[in-house]
Every structure is written in structure tokens, then in C-alpha cells.
Amino acid sequence: MRVLIVEDETRMAALIRQGLEEEAYAVDVVADGSEVMDWVRSAHYDLIMLDIMLPGMDGIEVCRQIRAHGYIMPILMLTARDTLTDKVKGLDSGADDYLVKPFAIEELTARLRALARREGPSKTVELQVGELVLDTMTKRARRGAAEFDLTGKEYMLLETLMRHPGQVLSRDQIIEHVWNMDFESGSKLIEVYIHALRKKIDEGHDRKLIQTLRGLGYRISVDESAE
């Protein structure tokens, strides 16, 4: 899951980024409210964390602009001010939830998971393709009786594939969800992580779930008609 953090306090932004990356989120950070729309246009974000007090443009106006341009990803508003008026302004501008600083990273990640689940039936706690089950709370997977741990990037890649069962995802689509703006387009990291997932998920099984469609991308499916 890819998150955009809009926060001008450098230390706060770094702490949030570290906490989210440890929980297997792909994270980008921007400090100036007037730059946010450029970031939103350039990448697909599953969630946005938006501080109210920002240079360039405050979070309320940024939120209004995001919604005015038709973007519907969940927005979590952050602020140090715990007044009813501020909460109402944030929610009325288009935010989905509100979190007052300081907060524990555990509460933040719980809020983000709850917001992600609101998007629809695909945002469930457990994802399943055939006999493969991914628990998005514990970030563990099992296939039949075999259970295995995943690294952060393995989890993010597998979650992305399993949220689109049977659908071919291109390299660009995978990058959009799993990596941040620092990803080098010529990197072979996707192939490395696909290989690692296959060893965990498909090795020893006649039916291969993770499939490559040459020139198109990757998919996870019980249908093995891929090349």
C-alpha cells in the first residue's frame, strides 16, 4: 500500500515514515502544501496523511483541491489542535478521519487499516486466491497447511497481486503500489521479489499461482494459462 505523508515538521515526518515502512507501507513525503497536487497527479496513492498547518497552502485547502480534482483515496487529517471546529473543518473539506498529535504509531496504522477497509469489499482482513490466504493484519501467508513469513516488500507485492486476482499487472502498476518515488525504472527488483515469492508460495506445488505473462506483467491466479 502506498501512502503520501504531507508534513512539514521534519522529525515528525521521519518518525511517521519509519513507522509505516516498518509496517510494509511504501511512503513518499512532501513538506509544502502547494506541491501536493503535483505528487497526487504523478503517482497512485492508496492513502494520504495530511497535516493541517503547512507552508504554501494549508491542509484544509489542499484537501479541498484533492477532492475537487476527483481523487477519492482516503485522507487522514493530522493536527496538533484538538478542537471541534478544527475537526469539522477538516471533515467538511473532504477528509475521512482525523488524528490529533501526538499519537502512537500503533494507533496511526490501525486508523490507516480501517480507512483502507472502507474502500469496498476488496479491502478485507484476509485475501484468498485458491488455497493461498494472506492475513493483512499479521502480514503472514499460508497455502494449505504451510504457513510462511514475508519480508516487507514481499508482503506488499503479494498483497497487490492478491487484491487483483486474475488481473495482469504491469511493472508500472506494481511500482505504483509497492515502491515510492525513489524506485529506479531500470531496476530488476520486481523480478527478484517475484522469484522470492514463487519459492515460498509455489515451490513444491503442481499448480503455480504466481504467473508471468511475457511483455505484459504478472498476475496471481488459479488459471495456469500464462506463459
CATH code, domain carrying 155? 1.10.10.10
Among 85-99, 126-140, 156-170, the range scoring the smallest mean pLDDT is 85-99
pLDDT at residue 66 above 90? yes
Are 95 and 193 in the same domain?
no
Are 131 and 208 in the same domain?
yes
Specify the DSSP element, H or E, that contains 25: none
For residues 41 and 66, is the Cβ–Cβ distance under 8 A?
Answer: no
Predicted pLDDT of residue 32? 96
Task: Output the average pLDDT for the chain.
Answer: 86
For residues 46 and 115, is the Cβ–Cβ distance under 8 A?
Answer: no
Predicted structure pTM score = 0.63
CATH code, domain carrying 43? 3.40.50.2300
pLDDT at residue 226 above 60? no
Model confidence at 101, in pLDDT bands (50, 70, 90)? confident
Model confidence at 224, in pLDDT bands (50, 70, 90)? low
- pLDDT tens digit sequence for 192-216: 989 999 999 998 888 899 999 988 9
Would you call 59 helix, strand, or coil by DSSP? helix
Instruction: Return the closest-CA partner of residue 180 out of 25, 11, 24, 28.
Output: 28
Find the farthest-apart pair of alpha carbons in the chain and give their distance in angstroms, rounded.
60
Across the range 33-52, mean pLDDT stands at 91
Residues 159 and 77: their CA atoms lie apart, in Å, by: 25
pLDDT at residue 122 above 50? no
Cβ-based neighbours of 169, under 8 Å, separated by 6 or more: 160, 161, 217, 218, 219
227 located within any domain: no
225 located within any domain: no
Residues 210 and 194: their CA atoms lie apart, in Å, by: 8
**Which domain does 168 fall in, by range?**
126-220
Are 10 and 85 in the same domain?
yes
Strand-strand pairing, 132-135 and 140-143: antiparallel
Strand order, beta sheet including 140-143: 126-129, 132-135, 140-143, 146-149
Q: Which of 96, 117, 138 is the last residue of a domain?
A: 117
